Amino acid sequence: MRWGEIIKRLVLVPPTLFGVAVIVFVLLRVVPGDPIAMMIPPGASEADITRLRALYGLDQPILQQFATWLGQVASGDLGRSISVRQGVLDLLLARLPATIELALLATVIAVVLGVLVALAGILLRGRRAEWAVDGGVGALLAIPDFLWALILLLLFGVLIPWLPISGRVDPQIDIDLRSNFYLLESLLTGRFDTASALLHHMFLPALALALPFAALVARILKASLADAEDQDYAQIARARGYSRPAILLHEVFPNALIPTVALGGVQLTLLLGGTVLVERIFSYEGIGNMAIDAVINRDFPLIQGLVLTFAVLFIALNLAVDLVVALLDPRLRHG
Amino acid sequence: MNATLTVEGLKVAIGAANVLRGVSLEVQPGEVRGLVGESGAGKSMLGRAVLGLLPANATITSGQIAFEGRDLLAMTETERRGLLGRRIALIPQDPMTSLNPVKRIGAQIGNLLRHHLGLPKRAALTRAAELLTEVAIREPERVLALYPHEISGGMRQRVLIAMAFACDPALVIADEPTTALDVTVQRQVLQLVERLRLRHGSAILFVTHDLGVVAKICRSMSVLHAGRVLEEGETADVLVRPRHAYTRALLAATPRADRPADALRPVPPALIEQLWSEAHRLDRAGEARPA
């Protein structure tokens, strides 16, 4: 991908986000229920409600509200959460690292698992055991991440209590870290006991997110490997006396990686979306979990901030995928 | 002295269908043998059988393939891999799909040299540049750093030819190497193959449907139809005094500069019909009397 292409994509980011902002803003206000209704005690007077609505600016026309909010966002202020009574940006910055770390760990697990299964599948190609691999992958794929979360929670949290099932880290542990990227920072600064405690907590939710994605990676990669192995250049490599494992690794794999990253990379957005329910199930303190609270409380500013954050993540992810694909495929690199 | 390649009574079947019905031929050291036939005659299948590249659903039902007197079919996988690419090489048919699209030319030639000759990385690249010079590629160092999509089809075919001769093979199987090329490039490629053959002292089994190509570079030839060798001999003899009706028909169907175009005669359908029914009769005879 050339620089011009990248710049074109970056230029399109603000209009995309604007579109997202309009849709969310309008939807939230069309759907019945508002934050005031959620926060007033029973028996509050009509006058109190009107005062509260005025306090949060909800008495103004939607267009006016939108203009005010957009002005704030443009100057880097996402407003104040109504239910938590803190700045939305601060809340996001505190919680987002937890979700990013969880998604990263899930991706690592999924890629390792997916690649291993795909390689096993391709080595068994044409034998009866190939069906077992394909079937297993299909079963993994058929169960969604939140269901895996419940299954894993029952299996390894309740029936065989190996791992903690709640939170990001034990409350007793004193986290003395400068950033909110607990795992990355503790790994980089060599505090492995902290990292290990974090990983214990993250493993089950990450695995729940990873399993369907691993199945997806395995399926795409195996099909791509099979396709590439049938190409002339791979056949001719056999006529040059290379062994099949060598051909799969050196000739076929680099080619199969291209469609796998292109198709699988985009599906990472599904994994990010999956964090909402999975974080909730494991009471993991990320933005997904926060999103559910925000929706329950009709916390308009927080929901808007969260949706914008997810939109930025999705856009960044898609751009990153395209860049990596261009890096892997010389035919795209030179335009 | 052993023949470079000896194929004897080779029968290959794909499922229930026979594709080779007892093919025998020999290639002597340094000889260029043409293997001629129309599509579906089984000529590529023979080359693939020698290289161990038969499709997964194809089986060799009987016959022998020997390379320099050693039985290729009885060899272990490791032994055969030691020969392939080094002593027995392939010039593939389609230069557009025969190079790995994501690897630089230098890496593709270099890997081959390192794998078979054990050259260190640097020396392999130097040798690769020499090989490219041999196939008349200018600025070889620059080409080594390019990807296949960055060079023309004719250039890719040269790279593939260079790779085929890289380890001084005793036998090169050329699988219709000129079919996918422009007529103008074809001639150059043929001359190139001939020059490299002489320099590296290789024999060539030249698979083609083009009698004109055979006349240009093959000393001897075998005519294949429906998986059978119908006629073989010195190219000059076969082309001047064809004994088999099918060879005569093929010749009459080949355009020549010294004949008007309306003298071209298609191979008579009745003859094709007769040849196929012979082939099927052979198949039934084979079934009746189990080998």
Q: In sequence order, which residues have a C-beta less than 8 Å from that of residue A107 and are 6 or more positions away?
A: A210, A213, A268, A271
Question: What percent of chain B shows pLDDT beyond 90?
Answer: 52
Residue length of chain B: 291
Q: Which chain A residues are Cβ-neighbours of B99 within 8 angstroms? A: 233
> CA torsion sign, A19 to A22 to A28 to A32?
negative
Considering chain B, what is the average pLDDT of its residues?
89
Q: Which chain A residues are Cβ-neighbours of B116 within 8 angstroms? A: 241
Provide the pairing of β-strand B171-175 with B203-208.
parallel
Query: For residue A5, what pLDDT band results from cuts at 50, 70 and 90?
Result: confident
* CA gap B112, B128 in Å, rounded: 10
Minimal CA separation from B185 to chain A, in Å: 22
Top residue of A124, A125, A236 to mutate, by most chain B CBs within 10 Å, is: A236
Reading the block at residue A80, the tokens are 């104040």
Do the Cβ atoms of B84 and A236 come within 8 Å?
A: no
Q: Which chain A residues are Cβ-neighbours of B101 within 8 angstroms? A: 233, 255, 329-331
pLDDT of the residue at B288: 61
Among A233, A250, A331, beta carbon nearest to B99: A233
Classify A176 as helix, strand or coil.
coil
Return left, alpha or beta for B206; rule: phi > 0 is left, psi -120 to 50 is alpha, else beta.
beta
Do the Cβ atoms of B150 and A254 come within 8 Å?
A: no
End-to-end CA distance of chain A: 6
Q: What pLDDT, in 10s, does the model give residues A136-145?
A: 999 999 999 9
State the average pLDDT over residues B84-112: 94
What letters, b where the CB count within 10 A reaches 16 and e where it falls short, cover B169-194? bbbbbbbbbbebbeeebbebbbebbe
Q: Which of A42-51, A95-104, B97-106 has the lowest mean pLDDT?
A: A42-51
The alpha carbon of residue A166 and the mean position of all alpha carbons in its chain are separated, in whole angstroms, by 19
DSSP state of A282: T
φ and ψ of A228, to 5 deg: -70, -35
CA atoms within 13 A on the CB side of A44: 15
Q: Which chain A residues are Cβ-neighbours of B82 within 8 angstroms? A: 241
pLDDT at residue A49 greater than cutoff 90: no
Residue length of chain A: 335
* CA gap B82, A140 in Å, rounded: 42
Q: What pLDDT, in 10s, does the model give residues A213-225?
A: 999 999 999 999 9
Top residue of A240, A248, A250 to mutate, by most chain B CBs within 10 Å, is: A240
pLDDT at residue A228 greater than cutoff 80: yes
pLDDT of the residue at B260: 75
Do the Cβ atoms of B150 and A329 come within 8 Å?
A: no
HEC profile of chain B = CCCCEEEEEEEEEECCEEEEEEEEEEECCCCEEEEECCCCCCHHHHHHHHHCCCCCCEEEEEEEEEECCEECCCCCHHHHHHHECCCEEEECCCCCCCCCCCCCHHHHHHHHHHHHHCCCHHHHHHHHHHHHHHCCCCCHHHHHCCCHHHCCHHHHHHHHHHHHHCCCCCEEEEECCCCCCCHHHHHHHHHHHHHHHHHHCCEEEEEECCHHHHHHHCCEEEEEECCEEEEEEEHHHHHHCCCCHHHHHHHHCCCCCCCCHHHCCCCCHHHHHHHHHHHHHHHHHHHHCCC
Minimal CA separation from A325 to chain B, in Å: 12
pLDDT of the residue at B185: 81
Minimal CA separation from A232 to chain B, in Å: 5
> CA torsion sign, A79 to A82 to A85 to A86?
negative
Query: For residue B102, what pLDDT band results from cuts at 50, 70 and 90?
Result: very high
Interface predicted TM-score (ipTM) of this complex, two decimals: 0.86
Residue of B nearest to A328 (CA): B102
Do the Cβ atoms of B115 and A242 come within 8 Å?
A: yes
Classify A192 as helix, strand or coil.
helix
Q: What pLDDT, in 10s, does the model give residues B236-289?
A: 888 888 888 888 888 888 877 777 777 778 888 888 888 888 888 888 877 665
Q: Which chain A residues are Cβ-neighbours of B89 within 8 angstroms? A: 239-240
pLDDT at residue A111 greater than cutoff 90: yes
Whether A11 has its CB under 8 Å from any CB of chain B: the answer is no
Residue range B5-102+147-288 in CATH 3.90.1170.50: no
pLDDT at residue A44 greater than cutoff 90: no
pLDDT of the residue at B173: 95
Whether A57 has its CB under 8 Å from any CB of chain B: the answer is no
Return the top range by mean pLDDT from A95-109, B15-29, B257-271: A95-109
Among B53, B56, B150, beta carbon nearest to A239: B53
Whether A238 has its CB under 8 Å from any CB of chain B: the answer is yes
Q: Which chain B residues are Cβ-neighbours of A251 within 8 angstroms? A: 100, 103
Do the Cβ atoms of B103 and A254 come within 8 Å?
A: yes
End-to-end CA distance of chain B: 31
Q: What pLDDT, in 10s, does the model give residues B103-158?
A: 999 999 999 999 999 999 999 999 999 999 999 999 999 999 999 999 998 899 99
Closest CA to A49 of A31, A65, A37: A37
pLDDT at residue B291 greater than cutoff 50: no
Provide the pairing of β-strand B70-71 with B88-91.
unpaired
Minimal CA separation from A120 to chain B, in Å: 19
Minimal CA separation from B31 to chain A, in Å: 21
Q: In sequence order, which residues have a C-beta less than 8 Å from that of residue A117 and are 6 or more positions away?
A: A133, A136, A137, A214, A215, A218, A222
Closest CA to A299 of A94, A88, A63, A98: A88
pLDDT of the residue at B287: 66
* CA gap B91, A273 in Å, rounded: 51
Do the Cβ atoms of B86 and A328 come within 8 Å?
A: no
Q: Judge whether B88 and B67 are in contact, CB under 8 Å.
A: yes
The domain locations on chain A are 17-74, 97-285
Query: For residue A80, what pLDDT band results from cuts at 50, 70 and 90?
Result: confident
Residue of A nearest to B150 (CA): A331
Among B102, B112, B150, beta carbon nearest to A240: B112
Q: What pLDDT, in 10s, does the model give residues A177-203?
A: 778 888 888 888 888 888 888 898 999
Higher-scoring residue by pLDDT: A59, A135? A135
* CA gap B128, B122 in Å, rounded: 10
Do the Cβ atoms of B94 and A232 come within 8 Å?
A: yes
φ and ψ of B130, to 5 deg: -60, -40
Q: Which of A62-66, A99-103, B201-205 has the lowest mean pLDDT?
A: A62-66
Do the Cβ atoms of A241 and B85 come within 8 Å?
A: yes
Q: What pLDDT, in 10s, does the model give residues B174-195?
A: 998 888 778 788 888 899 999 9
**Level-2 CATH architecture, domain A97-285:** Orthogonal Bundle (1.10)
